[in-house]
A and B are shown apart, each in its own frame.
Chain A
Amino acid sequence: MGNSNKTYDVVVIGAGHNGLTNAAFLAKSGLDVLVLEKNDYIGGATVSRELEPGWFYSNCSYVCSLFRPEIYQALDLGRHGLEIVPLQGSVTFSQSGDYFGSYHHSEIRRREIARHSQRDADASIRFDADLMKWCRLIRGMLLRTPPDPTSFKPRDFMEFAFLLKKFHELSEDQIYQFIRFFTMSIAEYLEEYFENDLLLAHFSGGSIIGTGLGVYSPGTAYVLLHHAMGDVDGNVGSWGFARGGMGAVSGALASAFQAHGGEIRSGAEVAEINVSGRTATGVTLASGEVIKAKKVVSNLDAQRTFLKVMNEKDVPPDVLTRARNFKIRGSSGKLNIALDGMPKFPTLPEGSPLTLGHMHFTDTLERLERAYDDWKEDRWSADPYTDTLIPSQYDPTVAPPGKHMMSVFVQYCPVEAEGGWTPEKKDAFGKTVIDQINDYSPGFKDMIVHAEVRTPKELEEEVGLTGGNIFQGELTLDQLLFNRPFPGYAQYRGPVRNMYMCSSSNHPGGGVMGAPGANAAREILRDLKRTDTTPEDFGDD
């Protein structure tokens, strides 16, 4: 328990992966850091929960690839128990009884693309090279603080100069193509490369995950990068499971933090950030306990930070307006399913490795777009896009022997179903998803031991993600880079002195990346004139 007379160097609100990353770097530099978590368990949306005895659900985030390897290395997370196992391939089932399998082996994948379209197999070479150009550019910006475009400070000028230099490493045509990529819809972008409907549907799915956008919405091509620029051991675009579930990520971060002398208190909900004379002085817990700190860091999303835990009088009116207008609508649901055995997918040949990867059941762009149309009307998609995985095939620790655990990410699911969520509606939503899987896996329903159905509502209530938005703020052009969370506040500093933000509401945004946490730590250490413990980008080569 904290000593009430004690003044911490830093108190971090929220033990999600960014809060822990932030705290770990601060503790590493020798600061006395306390992390406060409202739940009884840490991790935020990076958790493994045993909701059915024997099964451990990564019931929010469920795969790991964006996590910056620089942070992994700098915090020595391997020694703190983290193991990321690369997962293999993906498949989209078609309604006609066929499928497209994106095998992990490039030659087999190529032949499979060619089975659907010989031309597309060749076009994928051009596509992969182009995507890698954009990955290169964006990755170089992840572990940096965005410059303020209205500022005349030398640091902002330097940072802009850096960005311009990065841009000018591209040819003139590549610059235009990058801008086009950044502003186009995934469907239209892909249609410049591919012709086959099934392939188009398969490749575009990643671009809508977590967004309030459809495959034809401009800006979604860029979102693809949030799902494609990650890597596991240098294999760009591949995904991994954290052994033991996503809780292993937060567990390792917590362990690293504590090894540097940090302190974590769970079950400690922050009611307010205390401000005195336009300077943050600490926090008051829901219990009424006051904790003093020289710096306060919020790992809550921008709306919670500015509208909930900050007192309205401490926030300038224009910031309040900006916070209210911050776009943070959730669009994703999740089913976590305990299974009695391994479901069969008769479409796939015997022994197919494709069940080891991401499974999707949406085979055309039109179906993807129509799924989005439902969400715009505050309905869950009648024919949803799902990202279905069975991690227990790799990781024996998440299900009892011979049993399996399935994670089904569902796009789209509204924040409020028309007229508000009820248990019946939640069940109906879950049934929609289960029925879809059952269409491709007869008998699937009968294998279900337990299923947890999560809508944005649960994400909001349990984890504290406003609107259940998994990115803690939509990844649209108006909320990226120096606009994230909003103009003038993109450098991790809050509206009062000694107050900082480190959540995914800040650049570079959502995904289990750790970058906002590390970037905020760098800014705090900079203000304290302490040695920077955060890592630099590995660079290009």
Chain B
Amino acid sequence: MTKNLSAIVIGGGHNGLVCATYLASSGVKTTLLEARETLGGGLSKQTLRDGTAVPGLIQTHHSLNDKIARELKLQSTPCEPLPTTLLSTSGEHITLMGDKVSGAGVSARDISEYRAFREEYLSYGKALKSLMLNTPPRLKHFDWSDKTVFAKLGLDLRFGLGKAGLNEFLRVAGMNLFDVLEERFSSELLKGGIAADALFGNHAGPKTPTTVLPMLMRLFQETGSTASRQVAQVDNLAGQLAEAAKSAGVEIKTSTTVHSVVMDNDKPTGVMLENGDILNADIIVSNADAKTTFLKLVGARNLDGMFTHRVTKTRTNGDVAKFFATFDATPKFTNLSQNASSGRFLVAPTLMYVERAFNHCKYGEFSEAPVLDIHLTTLDNGKSLLSANAMFAPYNLKQGWEAGRAAFEDKILDILSLYAPGIASQVACRELWSPTDIEKSFHIEGGHWHHGEMAIDQSFMMRPVPGAGQYGTPVPGLYLCGAAAHPGGDITGLPGRNAAKQILADLKGRR
């Protein structure tokens, strides 16, 4: 049934690789086209101006969904779990590791509450499993599989969580992080850290309603197994996924930029490359974001008017910049032991700190005091590398990123100096990737981490827009498999896997 059928996957990010591997494993002749020289998208290694090799956009992650790792038979190289340290100017840092909190200033109540909190929210994440691991159901004209997903979801919510659990879930699902965390914890540092971690990549502050949702989405990744409950350093995930793809029979072409999807009689028949070559396939799968896919590759001429309008209105402007600094010697953070200094650190001392950082980006300004997610590594040459995600850094910076770049780098260093005095003067080389840089080098419209805001109105069956929320699109034979599709961003592989399942089901005529 799937024999003699062919598919082209546009984009070799992790979701594209995952999707292609599933398709090829099921006998679909699959070609994957990647514009860049390397595979893995945000996971691929990059080189700084001074030649330093650095991990790409993604420095740490929760490992790929277990189910996918199993199904794709990825070699299970156990990732080294990383503790997350919430930095305090007082030196009373807090360390999070799985369900544990430790630190001098943490109360016993916060410690036990954190455990309970994790347990509770992980159970919510778990209850969403059937929604996350399947094509999101349509909300009318249900077919058999929609009904199954709804039934499972309903059962998991009602019986998995119980009456009280469901009540609470339905309440918090629409809440903001600020209120949820204020209800539970006393430590400002702890609250700030939890909020920042959940918010990275989103255009939202802790007081933004419905911000519990991105936290749940992230926690869902941890429900697969105990191993995935840790934050891990990016290893060679891109390489592993590429290997899996190759051994499944995916033909991979890098440095191959797709110009457009070729349409014939309103159906896609293949793609045209930048060099004018045309490759044909029965199925076209796009790992690109929605705007790139629909507005550039397919084009408005092949789409309905309102659908096109809605795609242009999706919120896809990124707010996270990437900052790198190299040091000849490991920078010294106040009150951190030497071995702890190779780990993950968050600068988000209070909820209001994060909220104030967010305020600026609403008006096209970068944060006066940015929130930082810092990762320190020692390079092969003995030098130290600090890479940091810095928010909020709006895509549409009022003064423009050419003018604002150095100033924002200085802001980051000013903040770092509060925790590592003197660090600014020790920098050997520094580099900042604004969302506009990320847009350019990773081909993501708006430079958005998640290929679009993970707000309720752009989630589930409405991701990226209604009408394209089931991996299939209004163009029959064209599919989405990237973070622009449900369940969205982060390194989960779920959009890729779910899309492949949907494509295969469609090919078998089940749906």
Q: Do chains A and B touch in the complex (CB under 8 A)?
A: yes
Residues of A within 8 A of B (CB): 149-150, 167-168, 170-173, 175-177, 179-180, 183-184, 188, 191-192, 213, 216-219, 318, 325, 327, 366, 369-370, 373, 376-377, 476-478, 480, 482-483, 486-488
Chain A residues with CB under 8 Å of B267's CB are none
Q: With an 8 A cutoff between CB atoms, is B158 at the interface?
A: yes
A170 to B173, CA, bound (A): 24
Binary contact track B336-361/A, C-beta < 8 Å → 1, others 0: 00000000000000001001000100
Known contacts A175-B140, A327-B179; A192 and B170 CB within 8 A of each other:
no
Give A424 to B449 CA distance when docked, in angstroms.
48
Q: How large is the interface on B (under 10, 10 to 19, 20 to 34, 35 or more residues)?
A: 35 or more
Contacts of A150 in B (CB 8 A): 158, 163, 166-167
Residue B183 is within 8 A (CB to CB) of chain A in the complex: yes
- Interface residues of A: mostly helix, strand, loop or mixed? helix
| Contact assessment for A179 and B170 in the assembled complex, using a CB-CB cutoff below 8 Å | no
Is the pair A487, B167 in contact by a Cβ cutoff of 8 Å? Answer: yes
B457 touches A180 (CB 8 A): yes
Other-chain residue from B175, B355, B455, B467 in contact with A476 (beta carbon distance below 8 A):
B175
> Do residues B208 and A482 form an inter-chain contact, with CB atoms below 8 A?
no
Evaluate contact between A482 and B466: CB separation under 8 angstroms.
no
Contact assessment for A477 and B208 in the assembled complex, using a CB-CB cutoff below 8 Å: no
B485 smallest CB distance to A (angstroms): 15
Q: Is B72 an interface residue (CB 8 A)?
A: no
Are A183 and B139 touching (Cβ within 8 A)? no
Question: In the complex, what residues of A have CB within 8 A of residue B170's CB?
Answer: 149, 482-483, 487
Please tell me if B207 contacts chain A, counting CB pairs below 8 Å. yes
* A219 to B207 CA separation, bound complex (whole angstroms): 12
Identify the closest chain A residue to B210 (Cβ). A218
B interface SS class: helix
A218 to B203, CA, bound (A): 11
B168 engages A478 (CB within 8 Å): no
Q: Is B111's beta carbon under 8 Å from chain A?
A: no
- Shortest A447–chain B CB gap in Å is 36
Measured in the bound complex, the distance between the Cα atoms of B313 and A16 in whole Å is 44
Closest 6 A-B residue pairs measured CB to CB?
Answer: A477-B174, A487-B167, A176-B466, A172-B140, A183-B456, A180-B457
Query: Can you report 9 residue pairs joining A to B where beta carbons are below 8 Å apart?
Result: A149-B166, A183-B210, A213-B209, A217-B208, A218-B455, A327-B179, A477-B210, A483-B170, A487-B171
Residues in A neighbouring B359, C-beta threshold 8 A? 373
Q: Cβ of A176 and Cβ of B208 under 8 Å apart?
A: no
Residues of the B chain whose Cβ atoms lie less than 8 Å from the Cβ of A191:
313
CA distance A478 to B315 in the complex (A): 24
Which residue of the partner chain, among A173, A192, A478, A488, contacts B174 with CB atoms under 8 Å? Answer: A478
Bound complex: CA of A170 vs CA of B141, how far in Å? Answer: 12
- Residue pair A376, B140 in contact (C-beta under 8 Å): no
> Please, which residues of chain B bring their CB within 8 A of the CB of A188?
315
A176–B207 CA distance with the chains assembled, in angstroms:
25
Interface centre among B141, B174, B179 (most CB of A within 10 A): B174
Instruction: Determine if B171 and A478 form an interchain contact, defined as CB atoms under 8 angstroms apart.
Output: yes
Which B residues are CB-close (under 8 A) to A149? Answer: 166, 170
Question: When A172-B138, A172-B139, A218-B209 are in contact, do A180 and B462 touch as well, CB less than 8 Å?
Answer: yes
Which residues of A have CB within 8 Å of B175?
A: 476-478
Provide the bound-state CA to CA distance between A289 and B257, in Å.
84
Contact status A184-B457, CB under 8 Å: yes
A487 touches B168 (CB 8 A): yes
Whether B462 contacts A176 by the Cβ 8 Å rule is yes
CB A165 to nearest CB in B, in angstroms, measures: 12
Q: Which residues of A contact B278 (CB under 8 A)?
A: none
Say yes or no: is B461 at the interface (Cβ < 8 Å to chain A): yes
By a CB distance below 8 angstroms, the chain A residues around B179 are 325, 327
Q: In whole angstroms, how far apart are the Cα atoms of A370 and B359 in the complex?
A: 9
Residue of A nearest to B163 (CB): A150
Taking CB atoms and an 8 Å cut-off, the chain B residues in 265-311 that contact chain A are 309-310
Min CB distance A152 to B, Å, is: 9
A325-B183, A477-B174 given as contacts; is B207 within 8 A of A376 (CB)? yes
Nearest-CB residue, chain A, relative to B458: A180
Interface contact B313-A219, CB-CB below 8 Å = no
Report the Cα distance A191→B138, complex, angstroms: 26
Contact B313 A183, beta carbon cutoff 8 Å: no
B140 adjacent to A168 (CB under 8 Å): yes
The answer for the CA separation of A150 and B159 in the assembled complex, in Å, is 10
Decide: B167 and A171 in contact? CB cutoff 8 A.
Answer: no
Closest A residue to B164 by beta carbon equals A318
**What chain B residues lie within 8 Å of A183 (beta carbons)?**
174, 210, 455-457
Closest CB in chain B relative to A169 CB, distance in Å? 11
Asked whether, in the complex, the Cβ of A173 is within 8 Å of the Cβ of B355, the reply is no
Give every chain A residue within 8 A of B171 (Cβ-Cβ). Answer: 478, 483, 486-487
Q: Across the interface, which residues of B come within 8 angstroms of A369, CB to CB?
A: 362-363
User: Which residues of the other chain, B, contact A370 by a CB distance below 8 angstroms?
Assistant: 363
Q: In the complex, what distance in Å separates the CA atom of A332 from the CA atom of B362?
A: 23
Q: How far is the CB of B462 from chain A (nearest CB, A)?
A: 5
A211 CA to B11 CA, complexed, in Å: 44
**What is the distance, in angstroms, from B471's C-beta to the closest C-beta of chain A?**
16
A175 to B466, CA, bound (A): 10
Nearest-CB residue, chain B, relative to A180: B457
B208 touches A179 (CB 8 A): no
Q: What is the minimal beta-carbon distance from A235 to any residue of chain B, in angstroms?
A: 29
Contacts of B309 in A (CB 8 A): 192
A353 to B216, CA, bound (A): 51
CA–CA, A5 to B363, complex, Å?
Answer: 65
- A318 closest partner in B (C-beta): B164
Chain B residues near A478 (CB-CB < 8 A): 171-175
Which residue of the partner chain, among B173, B207, B457, contacts A179 with CB atoms under 8 Å?
A: B457
- A213 to B210 CA separation, bound complex (whole angstroms): 12
Choose from B141, B313, B363, B462 the contact partner of A192 (Cβ within 8 Å): B313
Complex-state Cα separation, A478 to B175, whole angstroms: 6
Closest Cβ of chain A: how far from B227's Cβ, in Å? 33
Chain A residue contacts of B166, Cβ below 8 A: 149-150
Residue of B nearest to A188 (CB): B315
Chain A residue nearest to B207 in the complex (CB):
A376
Whether B141 lies near A172 (C-beta < 8 A) is yes
Apart from A216-B362, A219-B209, 17 more pairs, CB < 8 Å: A150-B166, A171-B140, A172-B140, A173-B466, A176-B461, A179-B456, A180-B457, A191-B313, A318-B164, A325-B179, A366-B363, A369-B363, A376-B207, A376-B352, A478-B171, A482-B170, A487-B171
A-contact bits for B109-153, CB 8 A (1 contact / 0 none): 000000000000000000000000000001111000000000000
CA A241 to CA B50, docked complex, whole Å: 70
Cα A175 to Cα B469 in complex, Å, equals 13
Shortest beta-carbon distance from B145 to chain A in Å? 16
Bound Cα distance from A184 to B462, whole angstroms:
13
Most chain B beta carbons < 10 A, residue from A216, A218, A318, A483:
A218
Pick from B179, B309, B352, B461 the residue with the most CB of A within 10 Å.
B179
Return A365 CB to nearest CB of chain B, in Å. Answer: 9
Contacts of B138 in A (CB 8 A): 172
